[in-house]
């Protein structure tokens, strides 16, 4: 497990505005420090440009028309610096460092080690990885997979960085192999959004464009920290504010990127003068969002400022919902939300003002709780009351965390795809795909732990660190016969292997892809359903790398040899062939090759945006759920795991979290000063955390307690380190998303 040594924490006052020239300086430090002047500069000039490559970090959309020459943020720059680094992790590196030694390194150290260059194998009993040829690697995978008693003993995991072409081939391979065990990182993030919205409005994706966000009158931002996790969103928020919009931030933590923005490409921002963002900031009680949303809806109903015409024409279930709202007591709504009635009324009346052009954005702060699906359906309810969906300046905006997580799902990476998708696959490829739903992430971990899952194959990602219950998940992976990871960089999942471990190094998104002897490009889909090209431009980190699509094609070809009519190698060598098949299987991708070659790509249709409700009722459904919130026992606090500003998902680029005033340390826990006092804990004193779940205890020791502006009862710390406290079987109703924002803990001084 990662070392527990402290690294000399320095604490300063949190920032009240994000970005500024400091962001430029830090971006340059990372890029020049890792990639050097030439490679770094050419990478930055191609990032997020039409004809360039898509940022491998978050899924924030690029402007349709004018793009700045520097169309990236500080964290986009860190992501590219990490991928384009000149450092290499070669067979010699692995000969020098045993797996046990590497496991004692930090995640930051691993990211700094460099790019993987050769396929590596760790055979049973080995202490060091050793080089293996590609052919041998694919034969080993084929032997193991074909040696299983059932295809359902295999798990095919996908990280949201995989391109559409790789994802489509991957799900096709898994299904022709015979299983739907296709867990993906969406299971841990926006699964709750998809489940909630599909039932309410018939789509699992956001209904707005950048234009809508920038022309909204009111923008509600729930459980999101855009300054770190979607930084270019701040440019659109600034444009909206300059257009007269009122932003309301809702978050237990007062995040700099919600309160102010210093645009680093504008004079004002360069001079350190920030555009104020959130006019109203509601430091909601942790997991108190549902109560707040019910309060907002109650005011609209009581004020009669609802869109009755829209409700009559488009919705179902209003009367039941209305009765429910009227039955709620304000005192209880204030207690559970932690927000005073007067402020709730003010925000509700702001939403009902003007043309009710309201956009609501949200992220993990809503999706990773037991009542997440019910809470997100309250967001939808609010928009149905206002008729704020399917018209300019209004709609729903779940902000995706990984660059192509939405695209992977569109391509069929899902353990329970609908029947029509299977029909299309079977028709197109002439085989019968399995219809029995597969394992999502939680089920896959349980299956591997219980010995029902025997081979784990990961298309990118850092499964061990991204998932909950780290020690349990590690044991699950160790019980496998084989673990395989496609990756660009070394990470902790590569060090916790099955009896045999394989690392298959692939091309990065920024790199030229000349697979099959021709210039290749891949495609991705962003948070606002724009499908566009990503074309690599830099020299590959090693000439032994293969592309993701070719690795999957060769895996499938080796495993399914002699029993598949799918032209795997031809498709692996020419992505146009993959796109031709996608065009015939996935709705709205007709003429895919032609349309995606247009600069900027194309928007996918969104039935909810068109007010065409593909729900069971054929209408937009109000969902009425009882008021709920996680109530703590005596002495407990509610922990949320979160990212620092120097990380993207599980990739750690540095030890600072500058907006929160943290330098040079990751082993911190943010606590309310009164909660610290009540436990006799002084500032920066060493503490141990224990999580409590159904009588089980999990421990995280040696953390420093940092007093922070948080509501009583709430605390926060970084993942992946604190994922060890998140119980695997603690997940959201319906979506089964791990409750990483709702972990019951006790915190005491370390003895
Ligand atoms: S906002 Fe997201 S996609 Fe855009 S450059 Fe930053 S990290 Fe990359």
- Model confidence at 305, in pLDDT bands (50, 70, 90)? very high
Residues 6 or more apart from 694 whose CB is under 8 A from it?
A: 727, 729
DSSP-based helix, strand, coil % in the chain, nearest 5: 40, 20, 45
For residue 77, the ligand 1 atom closest to its alpha carbon is: 5
**Considering the domain boundaries, does residue 432 fall inside one?**
yes
Token pair, residue 534, equals 């990503």
| 116 in the same domain as 78 | no
For the cut 80, the answer to whether the pLDDT of residue 341 exceeds it is yes
Of all protein residues, the one whose alpha carbon is nearest to atom 7 of ligand 1 is 76
Ligand 1, residues at Cβ distance < 6 Å: 48, 55, 57-58, 60, 72-73, 75-76, 230-232
CA distance 458 to 171: 12
Within a domain: 735: yes
Helix (H, G, I), strand (E, B) or coil at 521: coil
Residue nearest to atom 8 of ligand 1 (CA): 76
* DSSP secondary structure letters along 618-660: SSEEP-------PPPPTT-EEEEEE--TTEETTEE--S-BGGG
Residue from 55, 210, 399 to probe ligand 1 pocket by mutation (most atoms less than 8 Å from CB): 55
Pocket-testing residue among 57, 63, 84, 401, ligand 1, by greatest number of atoms within 8 A of Cβ? 57
- Same domain assignment for residues 682 and 711: yes
Predicted confidence at residue 478, as pLDDT, reads 98
C-alpha 254 – ligand 1 centre gap (Å): 21
**Beta carbons of 508 and 56 less than 8 angstroms apart:** yes
Listed residue (86, 88, 99, 85) closest to 130, CA to CA: 99
Section 215-242 average pLDDT: 98
Q: What is the pLDDT of residues 422-445, one digit of tens each?
A: 999 999 999 999 999 999 999 999
34 alpha carbon – ligand 1 mean position (Å) = 19
Give the residue from 636, 643, 699 showing the smallest Cα distance to 671: 636
The verdict on 67 and 93 lying in the same domain is no
From the CA of 75, how far away is ligand 1's center (Å)?
6
Q: Are the C-beta atoms of 492 and 113 separated by less than 8 Å? A: no
Compute the Cα dihedral for 168, 363, 195, 616 and give only its sign.
negative
Considering only CA atoms, which of 434, 549, 469 is closest in space to residue 188? Answer: 469
Per-residue model confidence as pLDDT tens digits over 62-121: 999 889 999 999 999 999 999 999 999 999 999 999 999 999 999 999 999 999 999 999
Query: What is the distance in A from the centroid of ligand 1 to the CA of 41?
Result: 17
In a domain, residue 644? The reply is yes
Mean residue pLDDT across the chain: 97
Is residue 67 located within the same domain as residue 136? no
State which of 45, 213, 228, 230 you would mutate to test the pocket of ligand 1, scoring each by most atoms of that ligand within 8 A of its C-beta.
Answer: 230
Residue 5 predicted with pLDDT over 90: no
Is there a single domain that holds both residue 525 and residue 671? Answer: no
How many structural domains compose the chain? 3
Q: Tell me how far CA of residue 452 lies from CA of 396, 439, 443, 472, 622, in angstroms.
A: 39, 11, 10, 15, 40
- Summarize the confidence of residues 210-233 as an average pLDDT: 98
Rg of the chain, C-alpha, whole Å: 25
Q: Compute, in angstroms, the gap from residue 721 CA to the centroid of ligand 1.
A: 24
Ligand 1 pocket mutation pick from 24, 48, 58 by most atoms within 8 angstroms of CB: 58
Shared domain check, 561 and 657: no
Ligand 1, pocket-test mutation among 18, 23, 43, 72, most atoms within 8 A of CB? 72
Two tokens, residue 494: 């590569």
pLDDT of residue 264: 97
Residues 115 and 87 sit within 8 Å (Cβ to Cβ): yes
Q: Residue 233 CA: which ligand 1 atom is closest?
A: 1
Within-domain flag for 386: no
Helix, strand or coil, per DSSP, at residue 276: strand
CATH number at residue 427: 3.40.50.740
- 469-514 per-position pLDDT tens digit: 999 999 999 999 999 999 999 999 999 999 999 999 999 999 999 9
Residue 243: which of 441, 413, 392 has the closest Cα?
A: 392
Q: Which range of residues forms the domain containing residue 67?
A: 3-83
Q: How far apart are the first and last CA of the chain?
A: 21
Q: What percent of the chain has pLDDT over 70?
A: 100
Q: Is the peptide bond before 297 cis (omega within 30 degrees of 0)?
A: no
Residue 1 scores a pLDDT above 70: no
CA of 76 to the centre of ligand 1 (A): 5
**C-alpha 114: how far from its chain's center?**
23
- For the CA of 59, the closest atom of ligand 1 is 3
The total of other beta-carbon atoms located within 10 Å of residue 448's CB is: 25
Q: How far is the CA of 171 from the centre of ligand 1 (A)?
A: 27
Query: Span 704-723, mean pLDDT?
Result: 98
What distance in angstroms lies between residue 400's CA and the mean position of ligand 1's atoms? 11
Nearest CA to ligand 1 atom 2: 58
Overall average pLDDT of the 547-556 stretch: 98
SS (H, E, C) 351-366: HCCCCCCEEEEECHHH
Of 603, 621, 651, which residue sits at a domain end?
A: 603
* CA 60 to ligand 1 center in whole angstroms: 6
Q: In sequence order, what are the residues at sequence separation of 6 or more whose Cβ sits closer than 8 angstroms to the Cβ of residue 497? A: 99, 122, 477, 478, 480, 483
- How many residues are given for the chain? 751
CA distances from 45 to 198, 488, 569, 738 (A): 39, 21, 33, 38
Q: What are the residues facing 538 on neighbouring strands?
A: 511
Cα distance between residue 153 and residue 267, in whole Å: 58
Q: Best of 26, 60, 84, 405 to mutate for ligand 1, by most ligand atoms within 8 A of CB?
A: 60
Q: At what angle do helices 134-146 and 548-559 cross, to 10 degrees?
A: 50
The Cα 292–Cα 629 span in angstroms is: 11
In 3D space, the residue among 253, 278, 282 whose CA is nearest the CA of residue 345 turns out to be 282
| Ligand 1 nearest atom to the CA of residue 48, by list position | 5
Predicted local confidence at residue 673, as pLDDT: 98
Closest ligand 1 atom, residue 54 Cα: 3
- The answer on pLDDT for 563 being more than 60 is yes
Q: At what angle do helices 164-177 and 419-429 cross, to 10 degrees?
A: 90
CA 24 to centroid of ligand 1, rounded, Å: 14
Q: Which atom of ligand 1 is nearest to the CA of 55?
A: 8
Does 3 have pLDDT greater than 70? no
Q: Within 179-329, where are the H helices?
A: 191-201, 210-214, 226-229, 233-242, 256-259, 267-270, 289-303, 308-314, 318-327
Alpha-carbon gap, residue 158 to 439, rounded angstroms: 13
pLDDT of residue 402 exceeding 60: yes
Q: pLDDT tens for residues 166-199? A: 999 999 999 999 999 999 999 999 999 999 999 9
> Does residue 41 share a domain with residue 16?
yes
Domain finish residue from 66, 83, 100: 83
Q: Which residues of 678-711 are buried (b: 16+ CB within 10 A; e: fewer)?
A: ebebeebeebbbbbbbeeeebebeebbbbbbebb
Chosen domain end from 25, 56, 83: 83
Is residue 113 within 8 A of residue 505, CB to CB? The reply is no
Contact (CB, 8 A) for 359 and 211 = no
Shared domain for 569 and 450, answered yes or no, is yes
* Ligand 1 atom showing the smallest separation from residue 47 Cα: 5
Judgement on whether residues 494 and 558 belong to the same structural domain of the protein: yes
Please say whether the beta carbons of 220 and 282 come within 8 A: no
Q: Is 450 helix (H, G, I), strand (E, B) or coil?
A: coil
Residue 2 has pLDDT above 70, yes or no: no
The answer to whether position 265 is within a domain reads: no
Residues 415 and 440 sit within 8 Å (Cβ to Cβ): yes
Q: Please state at what angle helix 441-449 crosses helix 470-478, rounded to 10 degrees.
A: 60
- H helices within 189-271, ranges in order? 191-201, 210-214, 226-229, 233-242, 256-259, 267-270
- The answer on 577 and 436 residing in a single domain is yes
Distance 648 CA to ligand 1 centre (A): 10
Residues 126 and 62 in one domain: no
| 63 and 92 share one domain | no
- Neighbouring residues of 634: CB distance < 8 A, sequence distance ≥ 6: none
- Joined tokens for residue 76: 């986009």
Closest atom of ligand 1 to 403 CA is 3
Helix axes 372-386, 289-303, angle to 10 degrees: 20
Q: How far is the CA of 160 from the centre of ligand 1 (A)?
A: 14
pLDDT digits (tens, 9 = 90+) for 342-352: 999 999 999 99
What are the phi and psi torsion angles at 186 (to 5°)?
Answer: -65, -25
Q: Which of 45, 73, 530, 653 to mutate to test the pocket of ligand 1 (most atoms within 8 A of CB)?
A: 73
- The Cβ of residue 626 has, within 10 Å, a number of other Cβ atoms equal to 9
CA distance 130 to 145: 22
Confidence (pTM): 0.97
- The predicted-structure confidence for 264-283, as pLDDT tens digits, reads as follows 999 999 999 999 999 999 99
State residue 4's pLDDT score. 75
pLDDT higher than 90, residue 751: no
Distance (Å, whole) CA 735 – CA 738: 9
CATH number at residue 691: 2.40.40.20
The model's pLDDT over 232-255, given as tens digits with 9 standing for 90+, comes to 999 999 999 999 999 999 999 999
- CA separation for the pair 13, 662 (Å, rounded): 9
> Which is nearest to 311 in space by CA: 300, 295, 296, 326?
300
| CA of residue 467 to ligand 1 center, whole Å | 23
| Ligand 1 centroid, distance to 682 Cα (angstroms) | 37
Q: Is residue 301 a contact partner of residue 325, using CB atoms and an 8 Å limit?
A: yes
**Could you tell me if residue 323 is inside a domain?**
no
Q: In which order are the strands placed within the sheet that holds 130-131? A: 130-131, 120-122, 500-505, 482-487, 455-459, 154-158
Assess if residue 583 is contained within a domain: yes
Q: Phi first, then psi: give them for residue 522, nearest 5 degrees.
A: -115, 175
Going from the Cα of 217 to the center of ligand 1, the distance in angstroms, rounded, reads 25
Among the listed residues 455, 443, 277, 300, the one whose alpha carbon sits nearest the alpha carbon of residue 384: 300
Ligand 1 centre from 106 Cα, in Å? 25
Q: Kindly state whether residue 18 falls inside one of the protein's structural domains.
A: yes
């Amino acid at each position: 497990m990662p070392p527990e040594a402290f690294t000399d924490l320095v604490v300063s006052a949190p920032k009240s505005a994000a970005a500024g020239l400091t962001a430029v300086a830090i971006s340059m430090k990372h890029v020049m420090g890792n990639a050097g002047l030439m490679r770094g500069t050419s990478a930055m000039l191609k990032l997020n440009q039409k004809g360039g490559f898509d940022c491998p970090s978050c899924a924030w959309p690029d402007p349709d028309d004018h793009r700045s020459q520097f169309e990236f943020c500080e964290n986009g720059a860190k992501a590219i610096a990490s991928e384009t680094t000149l450092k290499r992790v070669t067979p010699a590196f692995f000969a020098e460092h045993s797996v046990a030694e590497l496991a004692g390194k930090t995640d930051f150290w691993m990211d700094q080690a460099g790019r993987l260059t050769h396929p590596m194998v760790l055979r049973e009993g080995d202490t060091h990885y050793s080089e293996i040829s590609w052919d041998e690697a694919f034969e080993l995978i084929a032997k193991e997979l074909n040696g299983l008693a059932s295809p359902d003993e295999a798990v095919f995991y996908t990280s949201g960085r995989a391109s559409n072409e790789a994802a489509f081939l991957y799900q096709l391979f898994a299904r022709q192999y015979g299983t739907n065990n296709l867990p993906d990182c969406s299971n841990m993030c926006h699964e709750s959004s998809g489940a909630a919205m599909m039932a309410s409005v018939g789509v699992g994706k956001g209904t707005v464009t950048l234009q809508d966000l920038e022309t909204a009158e009111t923008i509600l931002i729930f459980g999101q920290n855009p300054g770190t996790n979607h930084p270019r969103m701040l440019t659109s928020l600034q444009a909206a504010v300059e257009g007269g919009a009122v932003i309301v931030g809702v978050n237990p933590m007062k995040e700099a990127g919600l309160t102010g923005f210093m645009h680093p490409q504008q004079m004002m921002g360069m001079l350190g003068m920030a555009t104020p963002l959130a006019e109203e900031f509601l430091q909601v009680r942790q997991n108190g969002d549902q109560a707040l949303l019910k309060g907002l809806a109650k005011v609209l109903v009581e004020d009669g400022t609802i869109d009755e015409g829209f409700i009559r024409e488009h919705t179902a279930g209003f009367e039941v919902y209305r009765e429910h709202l009227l039955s709620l007591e304000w005192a209880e709504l204030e207690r559970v939300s932690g927000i005073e009635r007067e402020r709730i009324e003010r925000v509700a009346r702001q939403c009902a003002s003007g043309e009710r052009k309201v956009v609501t954005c949200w992220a993990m702060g809503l999706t990773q709780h037991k009542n997440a699906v019910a809470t997100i359906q309250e967001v939808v309810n609010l928009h149905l009351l206002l008729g704020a969906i399917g018209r300019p300046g209004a709609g729903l905006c779940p902000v995706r965390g990984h660059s192509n997580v939405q695209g992977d799902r569109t391509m069929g990476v899902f353990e329970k795809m609908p029947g029509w998708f299977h029909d299309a696959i079977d028709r197109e490829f002439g085989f019968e795909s399995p219809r029995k739903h597969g394992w999502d992430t939680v089920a896959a971990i349980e299956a591997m732990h219980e010995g029902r899952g025997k081979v784990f194959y990961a298309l990118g990602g850092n499964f061990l660190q991204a998932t909950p219950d780290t020690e349990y998940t590690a044991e699950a992976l160790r019980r496998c016969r084989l673990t395989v990871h496609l990756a660009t960089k070394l990470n902790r999942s590569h060090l916790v292997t099955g009896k045999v471990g394989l690392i298959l190094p692939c091309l990065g998104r920024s790199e030229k892809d000349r697979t099959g002897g021709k210039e290749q490009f891949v495609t991705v889909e962003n948070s606002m359903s724009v499908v566009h090209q990503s074309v690599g431009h830099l020299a590959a980190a090693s000439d032994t790398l293969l592309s993701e699509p070719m690795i999957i094609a060769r895996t499938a070809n080796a495993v399914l040899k002699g029993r598949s009519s799918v032209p795997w190698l031809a498709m692996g060598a020419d992505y146009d062939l993959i796109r031709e098949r996608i065009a015939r299987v996935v709705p709205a991708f007709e003429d895919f090759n032609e349309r995606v070659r247009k600069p900027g790509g194309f928007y996918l249709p969104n039935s909810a945006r068109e007010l065409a409700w593909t729900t069971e009722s054929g209408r937009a459904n109000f969902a009425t759920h009882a008021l709920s919130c996680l109530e703590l026992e005596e002495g407990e606090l509610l922990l949320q795991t979160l990212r620092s500003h120097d990380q993207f998902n599980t990739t750690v680029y540095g030890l600072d979290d500058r907006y929160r005033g943290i330098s040079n340390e990751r082993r911190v826990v943010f606590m309310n000063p009164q909660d610290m006092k009540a436990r006799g804990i002084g500032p920066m004193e060493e503490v141990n955390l224990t999580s409590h779940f159904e009588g089980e205890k999990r421990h995280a020791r040696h953390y420093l307690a940092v007093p922070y502006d948080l509501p009583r009862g709430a605390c926060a710390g970084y993942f992946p380190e604190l994922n060890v406290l998140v119980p695997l079987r603690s997940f959201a109703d319906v979506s089964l998303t791990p409750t990483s924002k709702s972990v019951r803990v006790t915190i005491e001084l370390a003895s």
